[in-house]
Structure 1
Amino acid sequence: MLTTELNAGFLIGAAIGSGSNARAVEHGGADFLLAINAGRLRNMGVPSIASMLPVLDANSLTEGFAREELLALCRKPVLLGVNVWGRTFNPEAQAAAIGEAGFAGAVNFPSCMHYSRPMQQILSRAGRGIEQEVELLKAVQDAGMMSMFYCSSRTQARLAADAGLDLVCLNIGWNVGGAMGHRSRSTIEEVAIEAREIGRLIKRISPKTRFLLEGGPIAAPEDLSRVLSLAPLDGYVGGSTIDRLPLEASVASMIDGFRRASMRPTRLDDESLGLVNWAKQFGFVGQSEVQLMMLRRLRALSSANDPVLIVAEPGQNSLPAVRALGAIKARSRSLNMVQIDVAEQDLPARARNVLFGRRDSSSARPPILTDPTVELVVIRAPERLTQALQRRLARALRDGVFRMAGSRRMLKIEPRIVLQCDVQVQEDTVVEDLLGAGLEPELVSHMAGWTLRLPPLRERISDLAVLIETEAEGGHLEFSSGALQRLQAHDWPENEAELHTVLGRLAGRSSRLPVQADELEPLLRSAPNNDRRQKTRSERDLIVDILWRNGFNRTKAAEALGISRKTLYNKIMKYGLSG
């Protein structure tokens, strides 16, 4: 027997279908390779289950690629997949041919075990059943080679153990996961219980036989680890988990990486690079075109001392912009800033007293607008101030001075004033949207030339990757290609705050595999007030945006828009978007 060539510890077998994959698994430390027709078919883009269909002769298909690609490239033992369904059945002659070809042994694949019990009985009566598979592998083993027997039941395992075969692998069905995966009918715990019972049976009959496991819900190393905590095993054989799933994930991820690389500028010009570096000191992340446009305007506004109105949607991080606007006033590395959130004030009068002072002259605290020790005053939600107070604020900002109630003396505004409205506005309808949000026309008019709109996350999706890298720094979060596409297609109604929440919920995942798209579905929220936002955008712009987010897949775009594919096609033609 050649089992002495295998290590005495835990065995890893790999059922693969190409020379390139063979080299990879050998480099990764696999103990032996299986050359089976399912592996070859997987590499041809066909589901593994096609190995049981009469599409190609299994023996000739397997031996052909195994000779040319595996034996010629690999030093590890290669077991040839064989079946007993030929016109004649001569175990000794077949075993001799396997040895002469240079294989280390054989494995029963394709096997009767994948068929239903009635079909297995018919094949056994015809002399082409499980019993003949065991007989063939026993002949291979008697010829001084290695044998591995696939089984799916206690009865089949007992046959192999009675024959004293080298390796017995419990196959628990086709692998789940990936583009061509199957649905699991068993949980990890159920698999472990079955493996424990069959393993004990085999060891009682043939202690030297090594017991392995393959298939079903075991799709990742973590799954195998859970089984091992419940059932002793001598090894694991990977088919789709080694040959198909990693290939699908890695190639898709690489393609998506190239696509994402093309979406972001590979090299910024000197002006843009300087702008990005300037913005980093305040906490900005990203270099999308809309982000750069906003930063250019912000840098210009930051060099002045005039009041500025920041417009940001709920969930956007406005603090970097506030820091930039206060930089010119800062007398030290730490900015002396006071924030007044009108939405949190108990009464409008309280905000008025804080800003403009009280009639009671006994108050030791001066109005915040006149405090020379304060460098920046941020007034959040000014639209919630009373109309009269908004008009008073507009006039004070216009004149730079104001008169406190009960006094004739004019007081000078000392700090720089930043107003912040957390409302949803569009670039071409900022004035109308601010008026609709409750800002007084006089205040909107005065701030018209000094308004800074922060682009929401949905408008700078090309910054998403670097935002994730920054947010998840140290968390080692990786996303599959499908997951990244799902994140890019999301509308992000709560902007960076929602991204922060999603990444936080993914932190501490038990799996080390990349995050999959289906994991994101319960974490991503639908956009609130979506109808209102869509009305503020032209239908053409909305369609272009949704098409871009969904990779110009018309079916997905139609679903996102809530219309039929035919209706979407008509609108594409209407707006001349077919090119």
Structure 2
Amino acid sequence: MLTRELNSGFLIGAAIGSGSNALAVERGGADFLLAINAGRLRNMGVPSIASMLPVLDANALTEDFAREELLALCRKPVLIGVNVWGREFEPAAQAVAIAEAGFAGAVNFPSCMHYSRPMQQILSRAGRGIEQEVALLKAVQDAGMMSMFYCSSRTQARLAADAGLDLVCLNIGWNVGGAVGHRSRSTIEEVAMEAREIGRLIKRINPNTRFLLEGGPIAAPEDLSRVLSLAPLDGYVGGSTIDRLPLESSVASMIDGFRQASMRPTRLDRESHDLVNWSKQYGFVGQSESHVAMLRRLRALSTARDPILIVAEPGQDSLPAVRALGAIKARSRSLNMIQIDVAEQGLPARARNVLFGHRDSSATRPPVLADPAVEIVVIHAPERLTQALQRRLARALKDGIFRMAGSRRSLKIEPRIVLLCNFYVGEETSGEDLLGAGLDPELSSYMAGWTLHLPPLRDRVSDLALLIEGKKAKNEPLIQNQLEFSTAALQKLQAHDWPGNEAELYTILGRLAGRPSSLPVQPDELVPLLQSATTVGQQQNGRSEKDLIIDALWRNGFSRSKAAGALGISRKTLYNKIKKFGLSG
């Protein structure tokens, strides 16, 4: 019999519905193919359960596609699905027809085993039940072909084993998962327990019968591995798990790829392309319009020696800009940079002595502002210096010289000075905002023409895909090749307000690392992460609630449902706030 041609190890059967999928599973190493009407219907876009409905002649549908697409293309044994519900029941004649058509054997499908027990009993009394399915397969086997019997209970399995059928496959229900899949009713452990008991029964009756499993919660190879750890099996038959689920995920993934390609920034002109390439050496990532505009100004400022004020929001990475500003002096060497964080200084006097020096310490350590070995000095949070010290700094920067405390000698400012303010500030009202944040009017006025605003992430969301790839590349193997985003998830990220900027993005990537699923990240996984970040960000950037609502509405195409989701509030709450702030128009 043809069953002897199958390997003696673990068998893999594939119930497929098209020639293209047949070639794929054959290349993948399947041992045999099943041509059943459920497979053909799956390829027509309807659920497998439609195979049990009187919508098409099951035998005719199966035989047509099996002849044209499977037998004509495949070398592996093909078992054709047969049923006993026709007007005539002639097992011997049907077996001859199966052999003449060139099939290697048969399988009982569609089968009575999918019906309820009362329905099965009615069909049995009418001479079209499980017993007749076993008799038909026995006739096929007696004609020298291979037979596989689908069963769903111990009683059915016993009938097949008593008849000495080649293969018995326990079908544990329609496959779960995918776009049209069923919900699981049984756990993997429950399935394994049932398979172990039925498998033992079959082997006691007929040790030569090979026992296989199909359906239910087994949706991936790891699910089968869990079953095998609890129950011995001779093989596995995949229907939707081989014929539908991989197609859905691979096609969806490919469409995702094309969609994400369309979401990337448009082609840059030559000048913008040069700017982006120039910026990469300093650690910049991105090519959005606002980002390129910032790079254009940064490159112009980098050629000068004048002091620079960088304004960035909390969570933004300002180090690439600092590197670019110090590149002229550093050339190919590493940049000799000193960073002074006023927010961490214990006393304003300490910051004063570090910057301007003191007569008592000048012999051993020159003031930072006059140290020729230092190429760039970054003063973080200059607004926290005393007003008097800020005015002194403004005059020193303006004159290019300063007088050390306790001394009449004037010293030249040697390094390039970069002031770095971290708080939310609007481009149009930057002067007022800087004053409100504590920057002295004299210092703010002097730096007005030499201020560089780093665009926040919410203004360059088209760079998200590039930023994610950049973060992944820097953190291999933590998240590289393990974290992909679906198109819907990327759209969710682009609609987010990003109050924490790049730092928030990095935090989210870190929380997603090591997630159990290898499939692309879906929007529902991001909701709790983005909502918590929004709450923190509102406290950080100080924007009004009205501004946040307007921004969320704009970013979500004025869809109130999506805006409410992005803000982490209910639609009813959003409606009330829209009414409160007079935004209903």
Quickly name the TM-score band, shorter chain normalised: 0.7 to 0.9
Task: Tell me which residue corresponds to 2:421.
Answer: 421
In the TM superposition, residue 479 of structure 1 has moved relative to its aligned partner by 2.3
Comparing 494-503 with 141-150, which one deviates more in the overlay? 494-503
Q: 1:281 to 1:331 in 2, by over 3 A?
A: closer
Alignment of 1:105-144 (within 5 A): 105-144=105-144
Distance between the aligned counterparts of 1:238 and 1:554, measured in 2? 44
Residue identity in the other structure for 1:192: A
Root-mean-square deviation (CA, aligned residues, Å) is: 3.4
Distance between the aligned counterparts of 2:193 and 2:485, measured in 1? 32
Which whole-Å deviations, capped at 9, do the CAs of 1:37-60 have from their partners, x for residues lacking one?
A: 222222222222333334333333
8 Å contact kept, 2:500–2:533: no
Q: 1:434 to 1:99 in 2, by over 3 A?
A: farther
8 Å contact kept, 1:546–1:557: yes
Task: Tell me which residue corresponds to 2:366.
Answer: 366
Q: 1:484 to 1:559 in 2, by over 3 A?
A: closer
Give the number of aligned pairs: 569
Which whole-Å deviations, capped at 9, do the CAs of 1:333-377 have from their partners, x for residues lacking one?
A: 211111122233333333333223346457732322222211111
Task: Tell me which residue corresponds to 1:203.
Answer: 203
Task: Tell me which residue corresponds to 2:392.
Answer: 392
Which whole-Å deviations, capped at 9, do the CAs of 1:500-523 have from their partners, x for residues lacking one?
A: 334344445565554455555555
Which whole-Å deviations, capped at 9, do the CAs of 1:244-289 have from their partners, x for residues lacking one?
A: 2222222222222222223335643332222222111111222223
8 Å contact kept, 1:11–1:31: yes
Q: 1:511 to 1:563 in 2, by over 3 A?
A: closer
Residue identity in the other structure for 1:160: A
Comparing 315-324 with 422-431, which one deviates more in the overlay? 422-431
Task: Tell me which residue corresponds to 1:73.
Answer: 73
8 Å contact kept, 2:380–2:419: yes
Which whole-Å deviations, capped at 9, do the CAs of 1:106-162 have from their partners, x for residues lacking one?
A: 222233333334433443344333333323222222222222222233333333222
8 Å contact kept, 2:553–2:559: no
Distance between the aligned counterparts of 1:427 and 1:369, measured in 2? 30
Query: Aligned to 2:120, what secondary structure does the other structure show?
Result: helix
Residue identity in the other structure for 2:422: D
Query: Aligned to 1:378, what secondary structure does the other structure show?
Result: strand
Task: Tell me which residue corresponds to 1:380.
Answer: 380
Tell me the TM-score normalized by structure 2.
0.86
Alignment of 1:136-175 (within 5 A): 136-175=136-175
Distance between the aligned counterparts of 2:285 and 2:329, measured in 1? 23
Query: Aligned to 2:328, what secondary structure does the other structure show?
Result: coil
Q: 1:405 to 1:368 in 2, by over 3 A?
A: same
Which whole-Å deviations, capped at 9, do the CAs of 1:427-453 have from their partners, x for residues lacking one?
A: 444334444444334333332222222
Residue identity in the other structure for 2:345: Q
Distance between the aligned counterparts of 2:74 and 2:485, measured in 1? 31
Query: Aligned to 2:211, what secondary structure does the other structure show?
Result: strand
The answer as to 2:213 corresponding to 1:213 is yes
8 Å contact kept, 2:265–2:462: no
Task: Tell me which residue corresponds to 1:452.
Answer: 452
Distance between the aligned counterparts of 2:489 and 2:428, measured in 1? 33
Distance between the aligned counterparts of 2:109 and 2:408, measured in 1? 99
Q: 1:536 to 1:361 in 2, by over 3 A?
A: farther
Distance between the aligned counterparts of 2:491 and 2:79, measured in 1? 40
Distance between the aligned counterparts of 2:442 and 2:346, measured in 1? 25
8 Å contact kept, 1:477–1:515: no
Task: Tell me which residue corresponds to 1:503.
Answer: 509
Distance between the aligned counterparts of 2:523 and 2:189, measured in 1? 25
Alignment of 1:429-444 (within 5 A): 429-444=429-444
Which whole-Å deviations, capped at 9, do the CAs of 1:315-349 have from their partners, x for residues lacking one?
A: 32222111111111216521111112223333333
Query: Aligned to 2:156, what secondary structure does the other structure show?
Result: helix
What stretches of structure 2 of length at least 5 have no aligned partner?
Answer: none
What stretches of structure 1 of length at least 5 have no aligned partner?
Answer: none
Q: 1:444 to 1:155 in 2, by over 3 A?
A: farther
8 Å contact kept, 2:16–2:39: yes
Alignment of 1:257-296 (within 5 A): 257-265=257-265, 267-296=267-296
Comparing 275-284 with 234-243, which one deviates more in the overlay? 234-243
Residue identity in the other structure for 2:151: C
Task: Tell me which residue corresponds to 1:328.
Answer: 328
Aligned match of 1:546 in 556, 565, 575? 556
8 Å contact kept, 1:534–1:542: no
The answer as to 2:473 corresponding to 1:476 is no
8 Å contact kept, 2:400–2:412: yes
Comparing 121-130 with 17-26, which one deviates more in the overlay? 121-130
Alignment of 1:34-113 (within 5 A): 34-113=34-113
Query: Aligned to 2:330, what secondary structure does the other structure show?
Result: coil
Q: 1:49 to 1:314 in 2, by over 3 A?
A: farther
Q: 1:397 to 1:53 in 2, by over 3 A?
A: farther
Q: 1:364 to 1:545 in 2, by over 3 A?
A: same
Q: 1:344 to 1:123 in 2, by over 3 A?
A: farther
Residue identity in the other structure for 1:286: G
Distance between the aligned counterparts of 1:447 and 1:231, measured in 2? 75
Q: 1:415 to 1:39 in 2, by over 3 A?
A: same
8 Å contact kept, 1:168–1:209: yes
Distance between the aligned counterparts of 2:164 and 2:544, measured in 1? 71
Query: Aligned to 1:329, what secondary structure does the other structure show?
Result: helix
Residue identity in the other structure for 1:543: L
In the TM superposition, residue 299 of structure 1 has moved relative to its aligned partner by 1.0
8 Å contact kept, 2:80–2:107: yes
The answer as to 2:534 corresponding to 1:527 is yes
Query: Aligned to 2:369, what secondary structure does the other structure show?
Result: helix
Distance between the aligned counterparts of 1:176 and 1:517, measured in 2? 21
Q: 1:496 to 1:113 in 2, by over 3 A?
A: farther
Task: Tell me which residue corresponds to 1:343.
Answer: 343
8 Å contact kept, 1:326–1:335: yes
Residue identity in the other structure for 2:439: L
Distance between the aligned counterparts of 1:268 and 1:362, measured in 2? 52
Distance between the aligned counterparts of 1:428 and 1:134, measured in 2? 82
Alignment of 1:247-258 (within 5 A): 247-258=247-258
Comparing 505-514 with 6-15, which one deviates more in the overlay? 505-514
8 Å contact kept, 1:294–1:454: yes
Distance between the aligned counterparts of 2:285 and 2:344, measured in 1? 29
Percent of paired sites with the same residue: 80
Aligned match of 1:493 in 476, 499, 508? 499
Distance between the aligned counterparts of 1:96 and 1:509, measured in 2? 54
In the TM superposition, residue 424 of structure 1 has moved relative to its aligned partner by 2.8
Distance between the aligned counterparts of 1:491 and 1:207, measured in 2? 65
8 Å contact kept, 2:552–2:566: no
